[in-house]
Structure 1
């Protein structure tokens, strides 16, 4: 159990008001829903150095930013005294009896893991008859940190539901523990912290689970130029990052030269990319992005594919400055830096090559939640 968990009073005083909220169903009393959302992210540089054991042995550094795609969670009392998990975007709807053991048999392990952890540690272990509904603005395996953003949105919704005194660091760390420890899913730490904090951040990862989030103060004109220079393209391939991350971790553990040299370069690129961004030097950022993509391909096989390389060439031929796959690689979204004047041409070329390209908008807000009276909807 984390130190911050030990300091929180259990069970929360809000469990009693939640019980009253559940018990008034059908009695004509006011009801409410909890809503939350957490943004998805693009990694500009350093991705992979946030994965243990590299971050433990050498210290990791990542520069990323959040975009106008989100993971959403909606919680409300269920009207049949069951535990319900719904993933609207996946068309999955599950119902379980009011029993913590019953949710083991689920097709939505992220929902169940967050429910189990939050109720067990902060709700006195008392099962709650609620419906937990989610949706994500990106397909699974997108490389935009969508799974972690979903876990952050779930944790944030339960934080609001149980009135827990958790800040963005605690929400991110708890989401990390649920994914990487409780569910034993392969991956690093950057996605949870990006989703929890939002904005443009330089993240440092150190031994002992120490993470420092450095929000970058970027002028409005530089932000506008960066936003107008970014293009994303969905490759059409939803991939599991687990195999690639396992290869990288094996290379780290075995001190494989190509893996370590690639990761050292990615870390150095994150530091240099931060300086280029602070100066508003998009051309320098593109130079670093190209170098990072070459280094990333050295960390594991499967990072790139013939389809990805074909789309890369289509974008570069249309005027893009540089590109790389977002996330671990193997599919998902590809991001490009382009001259703003050529953005439309690059998007057209990518779409003609079989991708789904579009521009994007940056966001400054991280995970957030709010309460909505049910009778208003």
Structure 2
């Protein structure tokens, strides 16, 4: 069984998807993201022999393990993301597992989360078990928490399942998701996705925020409340179908300023240099993807500035990714 899943760009409300932060901030907080066509793929197949054959194409890693026991106890770092899904499904025979990711490592696009979802989709098809959205999100987030040994948010698992633009409500009574189709031209013409060349670690940055707020950092708590308000303002724009790119640029700029105060690890020197460059070339704002500290940045601009910004970024050594909005998958 072979499946693929999109990754995502988060538009507002990142970090608020981490429990218990959203419970502290408000009765209802919102995280908004959208699926993009930078894909992960997973293929799983049962084998009659006991071997576990692994091929991770983007890492150029290929290895055959004698059995599941050897696979589980292997110290190969390349297969660390595969172990929890295999252990959960606990096959009684050998496996072929093949994966591929188009996302840069540490790109802030939720690549590892998307790949985890691709694996869960593939296994659920293989074993003919249907899984609901929140069931799969809960399972994936617990698997990654075990792997990373740090608290995880849950927003990254939703675009790989749903596609589209997602308004995710984190409330005292639980989580709900509203997946929308939006004018693809609005998103595609106004955004350019740029990789800074610096890998990030979302768990470290988010843990710093969680720890500080739990320990009573009132300044950081106020900044989280402002991030929540920005997300609610963007949610209002979407509900009213206000596709005003200047208005969105203003929200992204507000978000950047608050996030730059939230933690010194969120904004690295490469992000500062990129922002200075794109604003000089006519860009309106930048949106840090994921927990920042490197990874990818979404540049927001008028359509006529797209090519100029792309060339300027490439000339400076940044990698421009050809990313487009992915409509809802179902």
Scaled by the length of structure 1, the TM-score of the pair is: 0.81
Give the drift of 1:339: 0.1
Give the drift of 1:263: 1.5
The residue number in structure 1 matching 2:98 is 133
| CA distance, structure 2, for counterparts of residue 133 and residue 101 of structure 1 | 18
The residue number in structure 2 matching 1:312 is 275
Give the drift of 1:309: 0.5
Matched, 1:239 2:214: no
Give CA-to-partner distance per residue, 1:207-252, whole Å, 9 cap, x none: 47x221012353xxx3312221011101011122222122111122
Structure 2 unaligned residues grouped into runs of 5+: none
**Aligned with residue 141 of structure 2, among 169, 176, 189:** 176
Matched, 1:71 2:71: no
| CA distance, structure 2, for counterparts of residue 353 and residue 258 of structure 1 | 36
**Aligned with residue 231 of structure 2, among 247, 270, 277:** 270
Q: Is the Cα–Cα contact under 8 Å of residues 2 and 42 in structure 2 kept in the other structure?
A: yes
Give the drift of 1:51: 1.0
Matched, 1:253 2:214: yes
**Aligned with residue 2 of structure 2, among 6, 31, 35:** 35
Structure 1 unaligned residues grouped into runs of 5+: 1-33, 120-125, 369-377
Distance 1:115 1:307, change over 3 A: same
Matched, 1:109 2:80: yes
| CA distance, structure 2, for counterparts of residue 320 and residue 231 of structure 1 | 10
Q: Is the Cα–Cα contact under 8 Å of residues 75 and 132 in structure 1 kept in the other structure?
A: yes
Rg comparison, structure with higher value:
1
Matched, 1:45 2:12: yes
Matched, 1:223 2:184: yes
The residue number in structure 2 matching 1:212 is 176
Give the drift of 1:185: 4.2
Which moved further from structure 2: 193-202 or 144-153?
193-202
Q: What secondary structure sits across from 1:330 in the alignment?
A: coil
Q: What secondary structure sits across from 2:261 in the alignment?
A: coil
**Aligned with residue 291 of structure 2, among 328, 332, 341:** 328
Give CA-to-partner distance per residue, 1:79-119, whole Å, 9 cap, x none: 75302232111122233233447413242121011100122
RMSD: 1.9
Give CA-to-partner distance per residue, 1:250-286, whole Å, 9 cap, x none: 1221131232122111111111112224211211110
Q: Is the Cα–Cα contact under 8 Å of residues 44 and 95 in structure 2 kept in the other structure?
A: yes
Q: What secondary structure sits across from 1:364 in the alignment?
A: coil
Q: What secondary structure sits across from 1:307 in the alignment?
A: helix
| CA distance, structure 2, for counterparts of residue 104 and residue 365 of structure 1 | 39
Matched, 1:353 2:322: no
Q: Is the Cα–Cα contact under 8 Å of residues 226 and 282 in structure 1 kept in the other structure?
A: no
Give the drift of 1:173: 2.1
Q: How does 1:193-204 map to 2 (within 5 A)?
A: 193-204=158-169
Q: How many residues align?
A: 324
The residue number in structure 2 matching 1:93 is 62
Q: Is the Cα–Cα contact under 8 Å of residues 81 and 147 in structure 2 kept in the other structure?
A: no
Matched, 1:82 2:46: no
